[in-house]
Every structure is written in C-alpha cells, then in structure tokens.
Amino acid sequence: MLRFNDILDRLASYNPNADMDLLRKAYVFSAKVHLRQTRLSGEPYLIHPLEVAGILTQLKLDVASLATGLLHDTVEDTLTTLEEISENFGKEIAQLVDGLTKISQISLRSSEEDQAENFRKMILAMVKDIRVILIKLADRLHNMRTLKYHTPEKQGEIAQETLDIYAPLANRLGIDWIKTELEDLAFQYLHPDIYEEIQRKIAKKEKERSRYIDEVKRTFMKKLYENHIEGEVTGRLKQIYSIYLKMKDQHIDFNQVYDITAFRVIVNTIKECYDVLGIIHSLWKPIPGKFKDYIGLSKENMYQSLHTAVIGPYGERIEIQIRTHEMHKIAEEGIAAHWKYKEGKAFNEADDKRFTWLRQLLEWQRDLKDDAEFIESVKVDLFPLEVYIFTPKGEVKEFPVGATPIDFAFSIHSDIGNHCVGAKVNGKIVPLKYEFRSGDTVEILTSPNQKPSKDWLKFVKTPRAKTKIRQWFKTEEREKSIALGKEILEKELRKYNLQQTKLIKAGELAKVAAEFSFQGVDDLIAAVGYGKLTVNQILGKILPQERLEQKEEQEEGRLKSLIQKITRSSPKDALLIKGIDNVMVRYAGCCNPVPGDKVVGFITRGRGVTIHTVDCQNVIDDDPNRKVEVEWDSTKEYSYPVRLRIYSEDKKGLLAEISSSISSNEANITNARVDTTDDKKAISIFELEIRDLNHLKKVIKGLERIKGIHRVERMRVETQAES
C-alpha cells in the first residue's frame, strides 16, 4: 500500500525544492475530514486520495497538483467548503479543487460517438487549468483499478464512460500509459468473457512468449552494439484491448493475431532513430504499409516516434517503435512533460486542425520564462471561444462564447427562433440576452405572438441567427412595401385610365422593371413603396411625353409653392475626424446623419470617409478596422439633407399647412412628393435642409401638431440586406 512518505520521496526525487510542508498539511487535512469514511472495499477512504496523488507523482506534477490530489474529494464528499480550502491552502489549490468538483457534477449521459466527442470538449471547456484534467484522469484511473467493488450495473456505466471520455482525453493529452490502462480496465468490465479469453490464451503461451521476447531483444542489443549506438530495448505483449480491436476490425480470432508482441527501442538522437530503422529493415523483412514516421510528422498530441512492423524470427510479425528519450518522456507524460520540456521543437502543421489548441499551448510555452508562467497561461480557457450546453434530451451543442437563447432557437428552426421569448436554463427562466455557460441545460421557450426585434441583432452571436433575423425583417418590410407600392401605383394609374393588373398581364411593368434593372415586377412595386422610385418615373416609361407633361403641370402647381431650391453649403468642415486632416467626407445616403446624431466614419476605397449614424444597419457589420472616430464641430453651422415621410389625411389645405409649419421652423424644403390612397390618406415625402438633430426634432414636433397628420418619420433608405 502506498504511504504518504512514498509520495514525499517521489516528489523530492524530481523536485527537491518543493514545498513539502504544504503537502503534509494537505495530507493531514484530508485524513481528518475523511476520517470515518470508507470506500466500497471497506478500506479507509484516505487510501483513494493517496493513490491519486501517487499517480500524479508518476506524471511528475507540481505540489499544487499533488495537494489537490489529496484534497480532491473533500468538497464533494465531506462537509468541507471551498472557502476552507482557500483559507488553508490558497486560491490556486481551491480553484483546482473547484474544477474537479464541477466536472464530477456534470453527468455524462450519452455514449454515442459524436456526443462523446462533445463531452470531451465540454470538459476541456469547463476547466480553466489543464491540471484539473490530469488530476481527474488520476482519480478515474484509481477508481477503475478498484471498480470491482461496485454493482455490475454501475461497473458497466463507469467503464463505458471511461472508454468514451477519459481514455480519449488521456490520449489527447498524450499520456499513453494512462490511456492504455484505462482502456484495458474498461474493456475488462464491458466484455469480461472476451477479456478473460484473450488473457487466458496469452498466459498459455507465456513461457514461449517471454523466450521469444528475450531472443529478439538480444538480437537488437547486439546490432546496436555493432553500430556503436547506445540504446535501450524493451519488449512486451500488446495491450489486451488493442488485440481485441484488431480481432474485431479484421474479423479474425486470437490465433490469427500474429503481431501481439511489440518492441521499443530508445536511443539518444533523432539520427540514431533512423539508423536503427535502417538496421531493423535490413535485418528483417518490413511489412508494407506499416512504416509510419511520426518524427517528421508528429501527431496532434505531440507524440513522436518511428513505427514499423517486420516479419521477425520464426516468421512472426512484430511491431517496433523507435524514439529518443525525450520523445519517450512526452509519450509517457504527455502534456505534463511540456511545461518541463524546455527546448522548443518545431512541430509540423497537421492537417487536422481540430486540436490545434494543444499545439497552441506549446507555442505559448516557448515564449514563457518558467513553469509557473506557463501554468498561468494555460489557465486561460482551453477552448476560449466556445461554450457547450445540453439540450433537454441530453445532447451537447456547441456555441460561440456569448451565445444566447436566440442563437440556440435559430439553430433548431427559424420558426422557433422567430417566436423565442426566452429559455429555461437549469430549470430557471432566463431573459433572451442570457449568455450560455458550459454545462447549462437549456430549454427554449416560445410564444406565437413573439416576433424578432432589431435589438436582437445587437447581441446574437451566431451568423445563422443574424442572417435569419435580417431575413425576417427583409421579408416583412418587403411585404409592406409591395402592398403600399401597389396602392400608390393603382391610384396614379387610374388618373390616366390605366389598370395595374392589365399592365402586369400585358408585360408592360415587367419591361419597366427591366429598364430600371429590377429583378421583377414585385421589386419594382416594392421600390415605389420604399420611396426609391416615383410613379412618374414609371409612367415616363409607359406613357407618351405630352400626356405626362399635362399632368405634371397640375402636380407642380400643387407643390411649387412648397419648394425652394437652395444651394447647399458644404457640410464637410462641420466634422472633426480624429487623427486625420483634409479628407473627403461623404454622408451616407442610407442614414443621412445630422449634427447631434451619434456618428462614425468609415474609410472607403478612393472616396474618403463616409459618415454613418452609429446605429445604421450598414455599419454594424462593416469591417471594424476601417472605422474612424468622428465628432461634430459645434462651432459651425451648415445644413444637412433629411427626408421625412408624413402620413396624413388627404385633405385640402393640408399641404399648405405642412409647408408653412416647416418654413416657420426655418427649414428649407428642397423636394416634395405626395401620394394619395383610395381611402383618403396621403403619404408625403419631404426633403428638407436642417441644421442639426435638435432642429430636426423641432420641425417634426411642429408637423405632428398639425391636425390630420397621423405620423411623421425620418426615412432611412434600406439598402440591400446582405445574407
């Protein structure tokens, strides 16, 4: 049985300056709080944390990790609080213990292949410090070693989870011996019959097997000696689980699995690795397709070795791994080796970018001065840009950090997204803006009355949700515009005794649409509704000039008095652009900013700086690198164009009232257009020159006071929404 002193000895062997007192204190603390607890085996509970710490010494981990190994179950299984751990052992150890407690609280439900991958990622996303995972692996390893005390049902569950989640994690972190042992242990409980059968068959041949291994080893050593290479050779039986996989994958039985012995040659330099390979291949016939160069092209978990298989003595297939001591250390300790491993090695870009974070860790480590700094940097999220949540059914979904219920809702279906009113997270109702945290169980709440709001665009994180929300608005506005456009057009056409439906049937409007480069008649009519196109522009394409002019004269008579054209002063100088002088300034046609609006500048190619209002939809998605800060210069006075849409009754004298209201507020009218509808309503569009936002507000207030006016709105031109 492992004693505490053994742990101290092992720690001293690889880190003589470690804080042994801290570890002693952790031991005493753990012994005290676990005092009367026993494991299922009937042994004192303390054996478990001791063994876990013991496994961690094999990974040569630091004192904080070993202490955490001793304390890892205190918060979960005793009355100890995290605060007590923090008071007694400091923040670092408290955070490690907290990480372990959190992992043990998520239930890893599904065992489906793709789900297992997500669970593994979720674990990685949840811990802020990679040591938490290493300690968790040690914990799981000891639990697997003592699994026999559980009920068969529990054994199966834990073994499956180990095979799905923890063995692959050990593999990803490059800790080969933990991976191997976890797999064999799990396999033993999942398929006890097959496990025993393979074990029995191996045992039967054991004597003959070990004689064979000795013989091959002697041959190896002799050859190394002849070639003046200093090295170690070990031979072993292959792992039971990998023999099983081979039998299963190739549909063969045990007697047909020939390469059940594996050898490992460890030498000093990379050159010697290739030398040894040459020696082996000239000694025994290599099996085609079995040579793999993981030195030239290392695996994502930074594993390096040469692998080959040959037809050895007596025609038996053997597998051989060749590596340096350094590579061996990495294969055994995995990620743990890296913060002690000082020489930066260039690793090739693997095609599989999936776990680049591991390589990233190595990159960081190269620039960092000491281990503590490295560990500090690893504490930053392992998956900094993703969160993992559960659906009510227990599936795991991946989202970008900051994602909200709306993102989730749109990932299911647009209909669910459009009607999302919130969510239940871990049973509690949360608002739409709630940001997911890894491990949350999320259920979306919908209501048939809900519809998307422009506000949503400000906080959703997934491109899918953004696109779908914009699409919804685009469709809605378009429908409205088409309805409005139809009404306006119909009414105007009637003045010339024309009918819209007939024009459409005759293909006339389609022709006009093509002439204005619209996709079709609907787009043309929508443009009238949006105010982008006037009915007169359309009529100009359909009717002879004289008929139009007649009519136009009448129209003009109505409007003439309203319009005073003025020469515009250049408003350019009214803006101060930070850090830039003498640039060309344009005001964006989509939002027509005026002084007082919050504005932002965008550097355009060859056209200087374009000024938008900050809430302009075209700006929100634009490249932030091209943004410049701009401010209004309040000392100067200029005028700016704005467009107002006025909804009113179609009533005599109203136009005159509008125009006098506008001029009494000292604004110039530069253009106006009035459309009337069948039900005695009028929609007028006025282009004005105003000084600033306050001036505009005054003008609008003035208009709203007029009887018969229903609504006044500042128009912003909708540009093609990108999808």
Q: C-beta of 82: minimal distance to Mn ion in Å? A: 16
Question: Of 65-73, 417-425, 446-454, 642-650, which segment contacts Mn ion by CB under 5 A?
Answer: 65-73
> Of the two residues 98 and 139, which places its CB atom closer to Mn ion in the complex?
139
Q: How many CB atoms lie within 10 A of CB 196?
A: 12
Instruction: Count CA atoms within 13 Å of residue 266 on its CB side.
Output: 12
Among 51, 73, 183, 333, interactor with Mn ion by CB under 5 A: 73
Active-site residue among 6, 77, 197, 395? 77
Q: C-beta of 78: minimal distance to Mn ion in Å? A: 12
> Of the two residues 138 and 512, which places its CB atom closer to Mn ion in the complex?
138
How far, rounded to the nearest angstrom, does the alpha carbon of residue 195 sit from its chain's CA centroid? 41
Q: How many CB atoms lie within 10 A of CB 367?
A: 10
Burial of residue 548 (CB within 10 Å: 0-12, 13-18, 19+) is middle
Question: Of 35-43, 73-81, 308-316, 706-714, which segment contacts Mn ion by CB under 5 A?
Answer: 73-81
> Of the two residues 73 and 718, which places its CB atom closer to Mn ion in the complex?
73
Q: C-beta of 7: minimal distance to Mn ion in Å? A: 16
Q: C-beta of 22: minimal distance to Mn ion in Å? A: 20
Q: C-beta of 136: minimal distance to Mn ion in Å? A: 9
Is residue 51 within the footprint of Mn ion (CB under 5 A)?
no
> Of the two residues 62 and 139, which places its CB atom closer to Mn ion in the complex?
139
Q: C-beta of 73: minimal distance to Mn ion in Å? A: 5
> Of the two residues 98 and 689, which places its CB atom closer to Mn ion in the complex?
98
Contacts for 290-298: CB closer than 8 Å, 24+ residues apart? 290/319, 295/270, 295/323, 295/327, 296/348, 297/348, 297/350, 298/347, 298/348, 298/350
**Cα distance between residue 176 and residue 386, in whole Å:** 27
Question: Of 9-17, 71-79, 287-295, 330-338, which segment contacts Mn ion by CB under 5 A?
Answer: 71-79
> Of the two residues 104 and 219, which places its CB atom closer to Mn ion in the complex?
104
Phi–psi pair at 492, nearest 5 degrees: -65, -45
Q: How many CB atoms lie within 10 A of CB 65?
A: 25
Residue 206 among the catalytic residues: no
For residue 388, what are the β-bridge partners? 398
Active-site residue among 9, 76, 515, 573? 76
Count of residues of this chain found to bind Mn ion when the rule CB under 5 A is applied: 2
> Of the two residues 73 and 92, which places its CB atom closer to Mn ion in the complex?
73
Residue number of the CB closest to Mn ion reads 139
Query: 441: which residues sit within 8 A by CB, 6+ positions away?
Result: 389, 390, 391, 392, 425, 426, 427
Question: Of 136-144, 238-246, 421-429, 620-628, which segment contacts Mn ion by CB under 5 A?
Answer: 136-144
Following DSSP, what letter does each residue of 518-544 receive, concatenated? -SSHHHHHHHHHHTSS-HHHHHHHHS-
Contacts for 673-679: CB closer than 8 Å, 24+ residues apart? 673/534, 673/559, 674/558, 674/559, 675/488, 675/491, 675/492, 675/535, 676/491, 676/650, 677/487, 677/488, 677/491, 677/650, 678/487, 678/490, 678/491
Q: C-beta of 139: minimal distance to Mn ion in Å? A: 4
- b or e along 224-240 (b: 16 or more beta carbons within 10 Å of the residue's beta carbon)? beeeebebebebeebbb
Helix (H) or strand (E) holding 319: strand 317-324
Question: Of 70-78, 157-165, 185-193, 325-333, which segment contacts Mn ion by CB under 5 A?
Answer: 70-78
For the chain, what is the radius of gyration of the CA atoms? 38
Q: C-beta of 3: minimal distance to Mn ion in Å? A: 19
Question: Of 8-16, 133-141, 684-692, 693-701, which segment contacts Mn ion by CB under 5 A?
Answer: 133-141
> Of the two residues 47 and 190, which places its CB atom closer to Mn ion in the complex?
47
Residue 76 among the catalytic residues: yes
x/- mask, Mn ion, residues 9-38, rule CB under 5 A, reads ------------------------------
Question: Of 6-14, 21-29, 72-80, 542-550, which segment contacts Mn ion by CB under 5 A?
Answer: 72-80
Following DSSP, what letter does each residue of 89-157 receive, concatenated? H-HHHHHHHHHHHHHHHS------HHHHHHHHHHHHHH-SSHHHHHHHHHHHHHHHHTGGGS-HHHHHH
Q: C-beta of 438: minimal distance to Mn ion in Å? A: 22
Sheet with 681-690, strands from edge to edge, namely 668-676, 681-690, 640-649, 709-714
> Of the two residues 73 and 176, which places its CB atom closer to Mn ion in the complex?
73
Is residue 139 within the footprint of Mn ion (CB under 5 A)?
yes
Per CB under 5 A, residues contacting Mn ion are 73, 139
Residues tagged active-site: 76-77
